[in-house]
Every structure is written in C-alpha cells, then in structure tokens.
Amino acid sequence: MLASIYPVLVLTDRTPPEWIRPAELILPLALSLLAFLVFLGVAVLMTGDRSKRALIALCGILAFTNYGAAWQVLYDHTPTAEPQAIDLKLLPLLLLFLFLFWLLILRSTFSLEGACRYLNAFWGFLVAFTVPGLFPRLVQHQTPLLHASSPPAALHAHLATTHSRPDIYLIILDKYTGLRSLQNNFAFDNSPFLKYLESRGFFVPRESRSNYSQTFLALASLLNWRYLDDLASDGRAFNHDWTPTYSLNHANATEEFLRRQGYRYYFFPTRFEATASSKTADVQLPSPRRVQPEFYLARRRMTALEAIIRLSNRGFPFLPEAADLTDWKFHQLELLPDSAGPKFVFAHLILPHEPYIYRSDCSHREPYWPGRDDGVDSNLIKQAYIEQITCVNAKVRHLVEQLQDRSSVPPVILLLADHGHGRLGRVVPELGQAPAEKVRERFDIFSAYFVPGHGPGTFYDSISPVNGIRASLASVFGLNLPKLQDLSHWSSSTYPYDFKLVP
C-alpha cells in the first residue's frame, strides 16, 4: 500500500505549489489505491501465504507504476514508431516478466517474512521522508486569488473623464498556421478569411513569424513586450524547468501597465499550465476550479493505465477542453462589450491546436489527438486540422462582429497565433532534427490587428507578435516603445531555453 501511494506523494513534492490544490490529490491517490487493491485481490487468489501475497502485490504495483517510464524510453529511441505500437510490444513483455516474478515467489521455499519487514520499513521511510514537505506546499496554495482589485483612488477622477478609452482584447489562437504554409503544406486557401478581417478594418500581416517555437515562451515574450534572452543566461540554457516562464505569464507587463491605467483584467483559464490561472485577474471566466487540472494526467501517464487509454485512442498529452466549454468561452467573449470598462481581456484559446474537437460546420466530434503527424494517417490529420481552422474562422468572424458592433467605443482586438503547426508530433525536437520545411511552418503564423486610429507604418507584413503588441500599445497610449528586431527563436521541449536564432 505504501509503495502505491509514494509515487503520488513524490510527484506532489516535485510539482510547483501554484500548480496543485489539495483536492487534486484525491483522484491520483484513488487510482493508486485501486491498483493496490486489484493486485492484492489477485495475490489472495494465488496463495494463502501473507508474505507471498504482499510480495506479489508489490511486484504488480511496481510494474503498474513504472510502466510509463519504460514506455518513454522506448518512445524516445524509436522516433518512427506509433505510440500504440510500442504499447502492443511493451505490455506483453511486462506481463511476461510479472508472471515470471510471481511464479518465482510462489515456488519459493524460503521464509519471506524478513523481506516483508525490510520492505515495510523501506517504503515507510520513503513516505515519511516525503510527507512533511507536503503540508506547507498545499497550505500555501490556499492563498485566495485576487478577484476584487480596483484602480488606485487617485485614478478615479481621471477615469470618469476618459470614457473613450478602448477595451483591449488579446486573443491567442493556438497553433494557427500562416497563409503561405496552409497553402503549401495543407492545400488550404485561407485568403477569404483574411480578406474578411481586412474588410472589418484589421491589418493582416502576410509574412508574420512567431518569436518562439513553443507556446509558453511565445506568450511570455508577447505579454512582456520583450525577448527572453535572460532565461538562457548564467548557464540556464540547459535547464529543463518550464516554470520560471509560467510566472512571466501569470504576472506580466501588459496587465500591470493596463491596471495602472484603470483597466479591469478579464482572464480565461485553460488546462494548459502556463495559462491555467491568474492571481492578478479581476475576473476569471470560468473559475480555474472548473477547468480540470493536469496533475492527475501527469500521474496517470506514469502508469500502465495510460497504455489502455492510448490503445483506445484516448491518450492526450494534457486533458482537452470539451467543445461545450470552448463554445461557452466564445459566447462569454461576445458578451463582454456589455460589461463596464475599460477592460483588458486575455483569452488563450487552444484552437485550432489539437485535439480536434470540431468539424468544419462547428458540430462537435469525438476528441482526436494523433500521437504523430507524419504517419500513415497524415492526410486524415491534415484534414482534421483544416476542418478545425474552418470552424475557428467562423467563430472568430462572429466574435469580431459582436465586439465591434456592441462596443460603444471601438475596441482594440489583437488576434495572434503563438506558433504555427509544424507537423512535429507532441514533442518539439532539436533544431537539427527538424526538417527546414517544418521549421518554416512552425514559425509561420496567423495574426490580425484592429487598432482604431493607428498611424501609417504602425504595422507591416513581417511584424512579429512582440512588435505587434508594442506597436498597438504605443498607438493607443502614446508610449515610447521602439521597434525591436523581428526574431524567431527555436528551442526543443527538452531544453526550452537553449535558443537558436532562425533567420
């Protein structure tokens, strides 16, 4: 039993405090204890010897718990294999080894009581060593979110006379590929949608490139109006920890500046940890507690249960948001012009990113997230991506009309992709391991800027997000934000801060 719960406790201990709430431990612990009871039940059926039962159950728990680590090793060393194919080989092998260990235990003529006493002490020590560090971490997370902050008193009189200050909508469309790559690699012409946005007053760059190859980096750069070179300094380039950048997303220059101008901050949480919650937002839609956390999935991926889910085509890198929830978010965005302003709205919409949850007419489909993009189903995967983009275009059209038509003051609307598709599967490789065509596609992004009254030359065809937000805020507030170079940085999932400039 101790061996079954220890992995949950140690995963909790290694997880940043802001990622986890006490209630989120219930499901992982329940999964572990259920696995323990199943293996104990099997052991009871196999023998009446208490010591042998305990060791049989322990072998089962260790196999169940460490399956994910073995699977990951094979996956990393067989880059062309489908995930399910690895499961079909690894599961029988694991069961064979488990059967042999059980047979060895059952046929043993030695007393195993001493081994059981030693193992009880061993696992008891590990659990006891972990538990004390958990309490302050879990209690720390009970600090309430700041839902009721208001502008400084000195701004009230000024705000009363600045009713023309525009609402600002920053909407991230995750993994939305640019026009050229959609045409060349997906045989899809997105120009009618871009021309529609231009007819509504948007500036739509035709050669915009993302600043970073991964979402959490792209968002941190965008929200803070700068590049992230400092994250790679002082020997940190080969740091595996993503969390320093998450804090740049949670408390960023954009919301801090706009709060000082008297704006209320509206935030849309996701199931992606970089945008899972905000401690500075005035309003969160929905409450982060309604968005199922990733901690359970992280634990589940370590177990053999994930193999069963993968084989049933339900294995996702993180828990997808239901299409109903995404529909709800779009509807809430459409209603926001009716709320008192001025307001800053940040919505990271995980679309058209996988999983594919929409057909082209926006009807819902069973979530589909292929393990790779270049397998035998590559054409079907491309079609699913295009159908999802077609639905997103329809939803964005309606949203733009509502925001523009219902706002008493013309709003600022920034529609930006964090990066393009790239057809790289679920893990971003090192730059040298990615074909040039896929690197170009990963950086080729959709973007559109609606900034009423902006001057000529404010935006240009090759503008990247970091300059797009600087130009937008400079135009609205008269800030002195000089143009930076439009740079694109590549880094892998393994070494996210080992930035490589891609010309």
- Is residue 467 a contact partner of residue 210, using CB atoms and an 8 Å limit? no
- Is residue 9 a contact partner of residue 123, using CB atoms and an 8 Å limit? no
Task: Fold for 170-179+195-290+322-352+393-501, please state it.
Answer: Alkaline Phosphatase, subunit A (3.40.720)
Q: How confident is the model at residue 307 (pLDDT cuts 50, 70, 90)?
A: confident
Which two three-digit tokens encode residue 131?
């538990």
Q: What is the pLDDT of residues 38-92, one digit of tens each?
A: 999 999 999 989 999 999 999 999 999 888 888 888 877 776 666 778 888 888 9
Asked whether residue 186 carries a pLDDT value surpassing 60, the answer given is yes
Q: Give the residue from 445, 397, 402 showing the smallest Cα distance to 195.
A: 397
Give the Cβ contact number of residue 372 at 10 Å: 19
Give dist(CA 473, CA 253) in Å, integer: 11
Q: How confident is the model at residue 195 (pLDDT cuts 50, 70, 90)?
A: very high
- Is residue 285 a contact partner of residue 267, using CB atoms and an 8 Å limit? yes
Q: What is the pLDDT of residues 434-482, one digit of tens each?
A: 999 999 999 999 999 999 988 888 999 999 999 999 999 999 999 999 9
Asked whether residue 315 carries a pLDDT value surpassing 60, the answer given is no
Give dist(CA 88, CA 75) in Å, integer: 12
Q: What is the pLDDT of residues 452-463, one digit of tens each?
A: 988 888 999 999
SS3 447: strand
Q: How confident is the model at residue 410 (pLDDT cuts 50, 70, 90)?
A: very high
Helices 215-224/253-260 angle, 10° precision: 30
Give dist(CA 212, CA 308) in Å, integer: 34
Asked whether residue 151 carries a pLDDT value surpassing 60, the answer given is no
The torsion angles phi and psi of 433, rounded to 5 degrees, stand at: -95, 0
Q: Give the residue from 172, 169, 171, 175 showing the smallest Cα distance to 389.
A: 175
* Cα angle value 382/315/215 (rounded, 5°): 60
- What is the average pLDDT score of the chain? 85
469-476 long-range contacts (CB < 8 A, ≥24 apart) are 469/170, 469/222, 469/223, 469/225, 469/254, 469/414, 470/225, 472/412, 472/414, 473/225, 473/254, 473/257, 475/451, 476/166, 476/168, 476/412, 476/451
191-198 long-range contacts (CB < 8 A, ≥24 apart) are 193/393, 193/397, 194/448, 196/397, 197/400, 197/415, 197/448
> What does the DSSP 8-state code read for residue 112?
-
SS3 31: helix
| C-alpha distance from residue 142 to each of 19, 21, 246, 292 (Å) | 12, 8, 19, 17
Asked whether residue 33 carries a pLDDT value surpassing 60, the answer given is yes
Residue 173 or residue 8, greater confidence: 173
What is the per-residue DSSP string for 267-295?
A: EE--SSGGGS--SS-SEESS-GGGS--SH
Please list the alpha-helical segments (H only) found in 261-377.
Answer: 295-300, 305-311, 323-335
Which two three-digit tokens encode residue 90?
């690894």
Q: Where are the domains of the chain?
A: 2-140, 170-179+195-290+322-352+393-501
Q: How confident is the model at residue 162 (pLDDT cuts 50, 70, 90)?
A: very low
Determine the average pLDDT of the residues in 469-497.
93
Give dist(CA 91, CA 196) in Å, integer: 52
Give dist(CA 346, CA 171) in Å, integer: 6
Give dist(CA 349, CA 213) in Å, integer: 17
Give dist(CA 46, CA 38) in Å, integer: 13
The torsion angles phi and psi of 349, rounded to 5 degrees, stand at: -95, 120
pLDDT at 154: 32
Q: What is the pLDDT of residues 217-230, one digit of tens each?
A: 999 999 999 999 88
Which two three-digit tokens encode residue 369?
């997230």
Helices 179-186/436-443 angle, 10° precision: 140
Determine the average pLDDT of the residues in 117-137.
84
